[in-house]
Every structure is written in C-alpha cells, then in structure tokens.
Amino acid sequence: MIAYTRMYAGWARVAILEQFQYRVANYFYMIGMVAEPVIYLVVWSTVAEQRGGAVGGFTAGDLAAYYIVWTLVRNMNIVLTPYAWEQRIKEGELVTDLLRPVHPVHRDLAYFGGWKLVVIVMWLPIAAVLTWIFRPSLDPSAAEIGLFAVALWGGFFVRFFALWALGLVTLWTTRVSALFELYFTAELLLSGRLVPLSLMPTWVQTLADFLPFQWAFQFPIETLIGRRSTAEIWLGIGMQALWTCVAIGVTAVLWRRGTRRFAAVGG
Amino acid sequence: MNELQYRVNLVVQVFQSALAVATGLVGLWLVFSQTDDLVGWGAPELLAVMGVHIAMGGVIQMVIEPNMAKLMDDVRRGTLDYVLTKPADSQALVSMREVRIWSFVDVVVGAIVLGVAVVNLERSVGWIDAAGFAAALLLGAIMIYCFWLILTTTAFRLVRVENILELFQGVYQAGRWPVAIYPFWLRTSLTFLVPLAFAITVPAESLTSRLTPGTFVLASSFTAALLIVTRIVWRVGLRYYSGASA
Amino acid sequence: MPAIHVDGLTKLYRVPVRQAGLRASVRSLVKRRFRDVVAVDDISFDIEPGEVVGFLGPNGAGKTTTLKMLSGLLHPDAGVVEVLGHTPSHRRREFLSRITLVMGNRNQLSWDLPALDSFELNKSIYRLEPESFVEARDEYVELLGLETLVDKPVRNLSLGERMKVEIAGALLHRPDVLFLDEPTIGLDVTAQRKLREFVAEYSRRYGATVMLTSHYMADVVALAKRVIVIHHGRLLYDGGLGGLAARFASSKKITVTMAAPPADLSPYGPVIARETDKVTFEVSRAETSGLAARLLRDFEVSDLTIEDPPIEDVIERVFEEPGDDWA
C-alpha cells in the first residue's frame, strides 16, 4: 500500500514537472478550449433574453455560472484520449509498459492526477476573467464547495476509466475512429456539455440517466451552482462511484483479454 | 491496395462530417424549440450560416492550414531556404504548395447544408444576393488567409504549430452563429482580429438579403488593407529569418 | 538449473496477403486471406546463470521475436520457454523485477526531465530499498561517467549519452537477466566501447546472465564467449566464437613477408592485398596448406601467417546463403 502511494506520488511529481515545462502549451489549450462554452453561453443567454429573462429555468446569470464552472469541470475530465493507444502500440510504448512490474493504468491515473493539480491552479485566472466578463450568479457555501471538490474528482475518475476502457479496443483493431467519434458525439449531447440536460426533451433526459456521461460533466457543475440538494449530491457521488467501478471492471477484463491477444498476434 | 486505403479514408471523413452536421442540427433544433428566431435570424437562415461555416472550415483545412503548418515546420528546421532559392515569389509558393484533399468533404457537406437552407428561405435569393455572396466568400477567405499568414510569420518562434491550430479551431467555432449575438467587444474581435465575421456571417448576410453596401465596402477595403499588411509582414519576416539563420 | 531454458520454441505470424489490383482489393474487403510466416522455428538452447551470450542474425531472422518471447511480451506458439524458473508470458511481478530488456532505439526515461528524476521513479516502481537504490545509482554514475549528464533533461543529451543513462536506469533494480537488443546501434565508437565495458563489468560483479543481439561484431567479440546464430528463424550455430569461423568460413588468408615479391603471383592463387614486402592471398581451406608449402618452397619467406577471415565477413557470408543447406 505504501509502495503504491510512493509510486503514485512519484508519477504525479513527474507529471507536474513535465507539464510545468509545457505551461505555454497548456495555457494555449485551455484558452482555446474556453471558446466552446463561451459560445454556448452567449447563444443561450441570447435565447433567454428573447424569452424575457430565462430559458428552462436558467437566467443569464445561471447560464454564466453553469458554463464557467463547465470550464473547470471540462479541464478536470480531460483524460487519456482513446486515440493514444494507436500510438502506444505502434511506437512501442506499450512494450515498455508491459515490461514494468506494475499495471500501466496506475501510471496513467497518477500522471493525469498530478497534471490536474497543475490544471486547477492554471484555471483560476481564467475563471477570474470569465467571472468579470459574464457576471455569473454564483454563491456557494463552504459545504457546497467541499462537496463540489469531491464531485469534481469523481467526474475525473469516471471519465478516466471509461475512456481508458474505450481505448483498449485498439488492441483488437486499429479501425477505431468511427467508434470513438460516435462515443464522443453521444457524450456531447447526453452529458450536459452542449446544454444543461434540463433544456433537452424529457426522453433524452431519461436516456441520459442510464449512461455514465452526465456524472463526469453536468453533475459536478450542478453541485457547485446550487441546483442540487445535499441529499441529491450524495446520491450523485454514489452514482459516480458506481460508474467508476463498472468502468474499472470493464477495463480489467479488456486489458487481460487484450494483452493476451496482443501477445499472441505480436507487437 | 492504395485505392482501398483512400476509400477507407473517405468513409471516415464523410462519417465525421456527418456527425458534425448532426450535432449542429441538434443544437439548432434545441434553440428553436425555445424561441422563434435568434437576433432576428430564422431557422433556415441560421442553417445557412452553419452551411457557410462548415464549407469555409473545409476550405481553411484544405488549402490554408496545411500550408501554414508546413511553413512553420520549414522555419523550424531551416528548410525554408529551398523555397527561397526558387525563382518564384516566396509568399505565393509557401501559400499554395500543400493541399489536404480530404477536407473537400467538408466543403461539399457545407454546400449541401447551405443548399437545403437556401431552398427553405422565406425570401428567395436574387442575382445580386448570390453575386454578393460569392464575392463576400472570396473576400472572407482571403482575409482568413492573411490572418493565418500574419499569425504564422510572427508567432512561430514563440509557440508550436499544434497550439496555434488548436486555438484557431476553438475560436473558429464562434463562427457557427451570426456575430450579432456576441457582446460588442467579442463581435469586434471576431471582425477585425480574427475575421470570422467577414468569412461567414457576411456571406450569409448577403444570401439572406441583409447585406448592406456599407458592409461590403468595408469588407473590400479591409481585405485590401490586410493583403498589404500581410505582404509587409512577410517581407520583414523573411529578412528576420535570413538574418537569423545566416 | 539454467537461467534460460528454451526448447522447441516456435512463433508464427499471420500476415495478410496483399495483392495488387482493384478486384483483389475489393475482395479483400470481404474476406481477408492470411498466410503464416514462421518467425522462430523450433529453436532450443540453455543458458547458465552468469553466461554472456551473443545472439546473431540478420534483420528479420527472429532475434527480436525470440527476445520478446523470453521477456514475456509474446506468447510462443509451440515449445517451452523458462527464464529464472518462470514462464515469461505470465508476467509475474517477481519475474519482471528480475529482468530487464533494453532496446537500442527505445526510451523509457522521461524525455523532458533529467535522468535523476526518472531514476527516482524507477525506484518507486520497482520498490527498491533506498540504500540499494542509492548504491546502484551511484555505482552506475561512476562506471559510466554520468556525473554531468544525469541532471540535464534527457532530450538535451547526445545519442551516446542518452543510451548510457538509459542503461543505467534499466539496471537500477539489479536484474539477474539482461536482454540487450542492439544497445549500441547508432553510437560512436567511444560510446560503444564504454557501454560494452559497463555491461561486462555488471555481469562480472553480479553474475548476471546476458543475452545480447547486435549488428556490430565488436560488441559480440568483446562481450560474449558463446554465440547463437539464428537465420530464417532457425538455429544455425550454438557454440564458441572461435568455432564460428571453423564452421562457416570457407576460406583462409595467407600473408607472406618476403624481400622482393615478384610482380605477378597469380599462378599461386588469388592475391587480395599487396605491400612492398607483404602479399596476402585468400584461398579455400582445402588449398591452404598446399599454397603455404609452395610459397615456402619457392621464395625466401621471412614470415608467413595463416588467418581466418574476420568474423564480420564470415557472418556476412553466412547470411548471404539461402540458408536451406544449413538445416
């Protein structure tokens, strides 16, 4: 156990050191990424204005709050892209991973975890600027912030394992882009990334309840902007834990089968 | 075998474009389930904006971005010299040597979306509107090209290719909607800083009979000014490059 | 008990059959045809602990495939492979902690950070005791001369320097078995030598078993007393370096030193080199003693040496053969 903690700390440290070296690239990425929610925000604020102030229960201030917190949640749930596996296999990084006496998922989890710490710090000035421009109605209590922190990392874990599992499909075939793109499109629409799910028709909301997407996106956001009761938040964190376990299970199975196949077919 | 690979690539491209269109349509549909128009633009008109956005995006990815990426690469590796020793205008050469054929799919898809939109417009498109549209598109594309070349020439030393591309792709999404929805400062930036307004909204305005002569004159003069500035920046950049690598 | 035990090891690859032409391409969309390529064909050998073995063969001979099976990356299709008593493909922690695979063109150290940081990371991955970690690290830094290199980002090092820190990192956990796949590729002569000396010293100090593949005969000659030659997936030779020439070299070189060699010596045999007082012939093994006798009889010879051709030439010629006659 201690050995694992030390290993995680080691990887997280490497991540922080490396990503700090790439801080310019990181900042460019984060700034470019802000364009997406800002556009959604402006569009929906315009709609709200035309409807006399609110749409789907969101005022302009509510929308601003939603999409500004969105930027943090989004940064937190960026994880290992499933497309990375193609390179890992081709460039032989997978071989290096297989030679180590630890499961590579630990390395990725620890690395991204460490990276997220850098991301959180870098996000703060961006959030300040956005708040100054768009004036969100945001007033969370200390308890809500605490719960938000839990939900934020919960979202990270759910999406991390979900996409790690998805990426393992590459061990079977390299023709994966169609599958990945479909996944991402579904996620865009059903996670609360494009719009808060309450603005979607009811049948879409029901469908989204059976999928893991919203637990990495909408749920953490709503935890902070005060749209959920404490009981609902605890329930949601439970759902995050549940979906994380499911994803871990799928990952374990796919990894065992996939590496066996990889070893049979040849790297 | 090569042919087969091409076919797979094509299928993948079409699939991705289709997904993007579907997502865009969902977005439009959601907006119009809550309101009848957006800043005075009706559903088919917004669809027209989307069509122009996709098609222009295809043009940018087909002929502009590949050249800029290659330019940055050449400067970094010092191989720009090969271009400079050719007996043709260097700016023309670096701007026209690369083509990413697959992005043509986006141009086609955008044109289809545009076609569907035009068919559904309340007011049919007259000759003047169509001509204005074509002219505005051309001017807009030139402006985007100027923007990219200026950006590449001045910024390549500071930042990597991938970062600039990513940043642009993010900002480009703002062109999905008519710039009128944006707050003043954003609108101005999207007009004069990153000329998305001229590349997308203005041609769409022409098509939807909104284009004022004043805007058109502004577009023309701004294009001319940009071309001149781009030329100057390019020459200065070259001098710096030759000086730096000597 | 041998450190490495291989018996009847076989590995096949299924390779899609590619044909030219449009119709064939379309057909292959629907039903892909495959053909089995034998990468490793029924090879057997045992390596005792502490041995340093050179593993020779041209590209595509099956060397890397064999090493990958020995390190657990690939499953054999037939045969037995045991390393340190483990089945490599089970990839047990105890097994992985006692071996290392170093490949010449691959990095495991972090590119952007100094090697020292990557070493620390390896310490936590392999769960090394702090004292043994520090001891190993300092030992390698000294042996390889890494003092000024380990705190620079790895990407700022030259190829030779990078390989040195890589191998230091790969040995921090003091593995008992080393698989080295082209470790000196692309390095300059000095770096190659330093690396060879290090591997020899490590093996000597810790009794490690080493399997080394290389294109450079100098590596093999310097490090290995035993050589395994593999070609087209089959074991051609397993024995001492000296015996290699005896087995495969079909010719020998005779160099005579005499006061004033005549201009035309071709009646005696093919001349491959000439200096003012030295002439070198290359003849088949059968003719060697005959030619030597004739030269001694006909000339005032002050010196005469008979040599095997250089190992490189021997090996080259082995690999040029179609290979079937050695089966």
Residue with tokens 């000014």: B225
User: Which secondary structure element, helix H or strand E, spans residue A23, and what is its range?
Assistant: helix A23-50
For residues C61-74, give the mean pLDDT. 89
In this predicted model, what pLDDT tens digit does every residue of C172-197 receive, in sequence order?
Answer: 999 999 999 988 888 888 888 889 99
Find residues 85-144 of chain A whose CB sits inside 8 Å of chain C: 92, 95-96, 98-102
Confidence of residue B231 (pLDDT cuts 50, 70, 90): very high
Identify the H or E element spanning C42: strand C34-47
Taking 60 as the threshold, does the pLDDT of residue B220 lie above it? yes
Q: Is residue C314 part of a domain?
A: no
pLDDT of residue C216: 76
The answer to whether residue B1 scores a pLDDT higher than 50 is no
Asked if C158 and C272 sit in the same domain, the reply is no
- A188 to chain C nearest CA, in Å? 32
- Mark whether C205 and C291 lie in a shared domain: no
pLDDT score at C324: 44
Instruction: Determine which of A99, A109, A259 to mutate to test the interface with C (most C C-beta atoms within 10 Å).
Output: A99
How many separate domains does chain C show?
2
Residue A40's pLDDT band (cuts 50, 70, 90): very high
**What pLDDT, on the 0 to 100 scale, is given for residue C137?**
95
Residues C169 and C277 in one domain: no
Residues of chain C with C-beta less than 8 angstroms from the C-beta of A99: 71-73, 96, 99-101
Q: What is the percent of chain A with per-residue pLDDT over 90, rounded to a whole number?
A: 72
What is the rounded average pLDDT of the residues B114-127? 87
How does the average pLDDT of chain A come out, rounded?
92
Contact A194 B23 (CB under 8 A): yes
Residue B3 pLDDT > 60: no
In a domain, C150, yes or no: yes
C211 and C300 share one domain: no
| Confidence at residue A166, expressed as pLDDT on a 0 to 100 scale | 96
Q: What pLDDT, on the 0 to 100 scale, is given for residue C190?
A: 87
| Gap between the Cα atoms of C96 and C231, Å rounded | 28
Q: What is residue A98's three-state secondary structure?
A: helix
Q: Specify the pTM.
A: 0.83
Whether C85 and C187 map to the same domain: the answer is: yes
Position B245 scores a pLDDT of 54
Question: Domain range spanning residue C50?
Answer: 4-238
The whole-chain average pLDDT of chain B stands at 88
User: By the CB < 8 Å criterion, does C20 face chain B?
Assistant: yes
- Give the CA distances from residue A171 to residues A178, A244, A255, B5, in Å, rounded to whole numbers and listed in that order: 15, 22, 9, 20
Residue C201 has pLDDT above 60, yes or no: yes
For residue B9 the two structure tokens come to 């690539």
Question: For chain B, where are the alpha helices, taking DSSP H only?
Answer: 2-32, 43-59, 65-77, 81-84, 90-96, 104-119, 127-155, 161-172, 184-188, 196, 202-207, 213-245
Chain C residues within an 8 Å CB radius of B3: 22, 25
Work out the pLDDT band at B243, boundaries 50, 70, 90. Answer: low
Q: Do C125 and A7 touch (CB under 8 A)?
A: yes
Most confident by average pLDDT, A117-121, B91-95, C20-24: A117-121
In whole angstroms, what is the distance from residue C252 CA to residue A15 CA? 59
The interface residues of chain A toward chain C in range 29-58, judged by CB-CB distance below 8 A, are: none
Q: Which residues 6+ apart lie within 8 Å of B241 measured at CB?
A: B75, B80
Using only C-alpha atoms, chain A has a radius of gyration, in whole angstroms, of 19
pLDDT at B2 over 60: no
Strand C52-56 relative to strand C209-213, pairing: parallel
Q: Which of A7, A21, A98 sits opposite C112 (nearest CB)?
A: A21
Residue A69's pLDDT is 95
| C284 contacts: CB under 8 Å, gap ≥ 6 | C250, C251, C252
The pLDDT value recorded for residue A210 is: 92
Are residues C84 and C166 both part of a single domain?
yes
User: Is residue C323, in this structure, part of any structural domain at all?
Assistant: no
**Based on the domain organization, do C231 and C275 belong to the same domain?**
no
Chain C hits for A10, CB-CB cut-off 8 Å, are 120-121, 123-125
User: How far is residue C249's CA from residue B110's CA, in Å, rounded to a whole number?
Assistant: 70
pLDDT band at C218 (very low <50, low <70, confident <90, very high): confident
Hey, are the CB atoms on C113 and A17 less than 8 Å from each other?
yes
- Note whether C126 contacts A21, CB cutoff 8 Å: no
Distance from CA of B11 to the nearest CA of C (A): 14
Query: Among residues of chain A, what percentage have pLDDT more than 70?
Result: 99
Closest among A38, A67, A133, A70 to B174, alpha carbons compared = A38
Q: Which two tokens stand for residue A178?
A: 């169609």
Among A206-220, C6-20, C309-323, name the one with the lowest average pLDDT.
C309-323
Residue from C17, C18, C25 whose CB has the most chain B CBs within 10 Å, to mutate: C25
Evaluate whether residue C221 is within a structural domain: yes
Name the more confident of B1 and A20: A20
Of all residues in chain B, the one with the smallest CA distance to C29 is B4
Q: Do C124 and C222 belong to one domain?
A: yes
- When pLDDT is cut at 50, 70 and 90, the band that residue B154 belongs to is confident
What string of DSSP letters covers A33-62? HHHHHHHHHHHHHHHHHHTTSEETTEEHHH
Q: pLDDT-derived band of residue C264, with 50, 70 and 90 as boundaries?
A: confident
**Contact criterion met (CB < 8 Å) for C28 and B4:** yes
d(CA C116, CA C16): 44
Q: Are residues C14 and C109 in the same domain?
A: yes
The side-by-side arrangement of strands in the sheet containing C271-274 is C271-274, C278-284, C251-258, C301-307
By CB atoms closer than 10 A (0-12, 13-18, 19+), residue C159 is middle
Q: Does C325 score more than 50 pLDDT? A: no
Whether residues C232 and C273 fall in one domain: no
Distance from CA of A36 to the nearest CA of B (A): 6
Calpha distance C278→B161 (Å, rounded): 63
**Is the same domain home to C77 and C193?**
yes
pLDDT for res A76: 94
Residues of C with CB under 8 A from a CB of A: 11, 13-14, 39, 65, 68, 71-75, 89, 91, 93, 96-97, 99-101, 103, 106, 108, 110, 112-113, 117-118, 120-121, 123-127
Q: How far is B89 from chain A (nearest CA, A)?
A: 33
- In chain A, residues with a C-beta closer than 8 Å to the C-beta of B167 are 28-29, 31-32
Strands annotated E in chain A: 54-55, 58-59
**pLDDT of C259 strictly over 90:** no
Mean pLDDT of A41-47: 93
Choose among A32, A177, A194: nearest Cβ to B27: A194
Check CB contact under 8 Å for C125 and A100.
Answer: yes
* Higher-confidence position of C59 and A29: A29
For chain B, percent of residues with pLDDT exceeding 70: 93
Tell me the shortest Cα–Cα distance from C192 to chain B, in angstroms. Answer: 29
With bands split at pLDDT 50, 70 and 90, how would you rate the model's confidence at C258? confident
Q: What is the mean pLDDT of residues B62-78?
A: 88
What is the average pLDDT score of chain C? 86
> 286-305 in C: which are within 8 Å (CB) of B?
none
Percentage, residues of chain C above pLDDT 70? 93
C217 and C315 Cβ atoms separated by less than 8 Å: yes
A168-177 pLDDT tens trace: 999 998 888 8
Confidence of residue C261 (pLDDT cuts 50, 70, 90): confident
Say whether pLDDT at C119 is over 70: yes
Distances, alpha carbon B231 to alpha carbons B95, B211, B237, in Å: 12, 29, 10
Q: Which two tokens stand for residue A4?
A: 């694992």
Q: What is the CATH number of the domain that holds C158?
A: 3.40.50.300
What is the rounded distance in angstroms from the CA atom of residue C19 to the CA atom of residue C258? 62
Domain range list for chain B = 3-238
pLDDT at residue C327, as a whole number: 35
Q: Closest Cα of chain C to A265: distance in Å? A: 7
pLDDT tens digits, residue range A125-163?
999 999 999 989 888 888 889 999 999 999 999 999 999
The answer to whether the Cβ–Cβ distance between A9 and C124 falls below 8 Å is yes
Mean pLDDT of C7-18: 83
Q: Give the C-alpha separation, A2 to C130, whole Å.
A: 14
My answer on whether C147 and C271 are in the same domain is: no
The count of CB pairs under 8 A between chains B and C is 10
Among B163, B168, B190, the strongest candidate for a mutation testing the A interface, having the largest count of A CBs within 10 A, is B163
Q: Does C257 reside within a domain?
A: yes
pLDDT at position B68, please?
92
Mean pLDDT of B111-120: 93
